[in-house]
Structures are given as C-alpha cells and as structure tokens.
Amino acid sequence: MARLLLIEDDLAIRTPLIRALRERGHAVAAASTAMTGLRDALEDRPDLVVLDLGLPDLDGRELLRMLRAVSSVPVIVATARDDETEIVRVLDAGADDYVVKPFTAAQLDARARAVLRRSPGGDAPDPTLVVGGLRVDPRSRQVTLDGAPVELTPREFDLLHHLATRPGQVVTKRELLTEVWQIPYGGADKTVDVHLSWLRRKLGESAQEPRYLHTVRGVGVRLEPPQATG
Ligand code: CA
C-alpha cells in the first residue's frame, strides 16, 4: 500500500480513479487545485503524487517545478498530450513517469508501483558519506574534499564510494575487484593499485605521505580521516 496524492480538478476523472486506486489497496487523498495540491504534498508527505497538468489555477508544469524545488517526492504526471515534446518537457521538469489520458487505474497503479520500487521513501535520508573533509554523494556521484569538487572517473568514484562505506577498516583488493570491478581476483592483478594511485593523486596525496588512503601491505587499503598531527 502506498499513500498517494492525486492532484486533478476533473471530477469525472478524479472520483472513479480514487475509488479504483483504493480498491487496489492504496490510501488516496485528492486536491483539485495546484495550490492546495502543493500544500498537501508538503504537509501530508505522500509516498507519490499523481499530477494533472491541466489545473485551473496554475500550469501543472509550473507546480512540478515548485514542488521539485522543495521536495523529492516521486511524481507521475497525467497529460492529455501524447507527443514527445510534451513528455520530454515533463520528465525534464522532474517527473518520474507519466501517463497519457485517458489511462486506466490499472496502468496508473502499475506505474506507481514501478516508480515506488525505484525510489523507496520519497524523502529518504541523505546517503552522502562523510569521511573527514571528504563528502561522497552517490546520488549526484559527486565528491568534494574540504568543500572543493574532486573530478573522478566513474570507476574511481565507485572505488572511493566503496571504501567510504567502511571508513577505518581495511578492505582487501580481492573484495574491491569483486565488488567494484565485478571480476574475480587474479592474484597478480594491478588494476586496484593503478586506480588507487590515480585516486590518491586526485585527492592530493601520495602513497609515501597518505592522508586518507592508507595501503596495508599485502592486505588491502583503508580509508580514514587524516590524523591530526602536531
Ligand atoms: Ca484537468
């Protein structure tokens, strides 16, 4: 069951849709204007918003932008226009999916469940990992070091992210190859060492003078905040 907020002004659509979605086990609240919908979305914190684009007081796309500025709740847009420009526009404006009118409750229900599977908890806790001055954000795949962005390749990001999930612990090269590269450990493989040395350089340190990345010879590598010295 999910808590849905339906923002739709057309009673002929809203009433049967609410009934059908409730029959499918959802808790459904409804709003008939953009402004009451925005308020309900923020106050009631539904799991998912179904947004009609043609609302009496404000264009649905405008509402979507306003909602996106303050909330990450999943949104499915209901549009009357089945053309690519329109669909691209609503997805770009932050919609998670769309349905084209007329649509059935079964279709909306299936799309709602798919969207909810992809985004468990509309306002999930911030997954950013923080190790000392290092911030690793898996959503944007961005890394900052003492507030300054660090440009990493996708593989370097995955490697750093994996290490940042277990700060202070030694992670073996075997595990890194399996988890980050998804290839079996070959013993003499230098892949991990090479990527670690690139990562070190980007973090402004070296194996001789490590700050965050500490090699444990013959075992693996440990990520930890720099030790305060002096
Ligand atoms: Ca409408």
Q: Identical fold at 3-118 and 129-229?
A: no
Residue 18 CA to ligand 1 center (angstroms) comes to 15
Top-level class of domain 3-118:
alpha beta
Single pTM value for the model: 0.54
| Model confidence band, residue 98 (pLDDT cutoffs 50, 70, 90) | very high
Q: Which tops the pLDDT comparison, 69 or 76?
A: 76
Residue 99 CA to ligand 1 center (angstroms) comes to 13
- Whole-number pLDDT of residue 228: 60
The C-alpha atoms of residue 5 and residue 48 are separated, in whole angstroms, by 6
Average pLDDT over residues 188-213: 91
The C-alpha atoms of residue 151 and residue 144 are separated, in whole angstroms, by 9
Residue 53 CA to ligand 1 center (angstroms) comes to 7
- Whole-number pLDDT of residue 229: 53
- The set of residues, in sequence order, having a beta carbon less than 8 Å from that of 212 and lying 6+ positions away, is 131, 132, 134, 203, 205, 223, 224, 225, 226
Is the pLDDT assigned to residue 163 strictly greater than 90? yes
Is the pLDDT assigned to residue 230 strictly greater than 50? no
- Whole-number pLDDT of residue 70: 87
CATH 1.10.10.10 holds for 129-229: yes
- Whole-number pLDDT of residue 191: 86
Is the pLDDT assigned to residue 29 strictly greater than 90? yes
User: Measured between alpha carbons, how far is residue 187 from residues 175, 176, 192 in Å?
Assistant: 12, 13, 11
Average pLDDT over residues 146-167: 93
- Residues 1-25: tens digit of each pLDDT: 789 999 999 999 999 999 999 888 8
**Which of 58-67, 86-95, 96-105, 115-124 comes out lowest in average pLDDT?**
115-124
Residue 25 CA to ligand 1 center (angstroms) comes to 25
Domain boundaries, the chain: 3-118, 129-229
**Which of 4-13, 141-150, 186-195, 210-219 comes out lowest in average pLDDT?**
186-195
Which tokens hold the place of 20? Answer: 């059908």
- Specify the amino acid at residue 152: L
Is the pLDDT assigned to residue 217 strictly greater than 90? no
Q: What percent of the chain has pLDDT over 90?
A: 60
Residue 55 CA to ligand 1 center (angstroms) comes to 5
Residue 15 CA to ligand 1 center (angstroms) comes to 13
- Whole-number pLDDT of residue 121: 53
The C-alpha atoms of residue 161 and residue 60 are separated, in whole angstroms, by 37
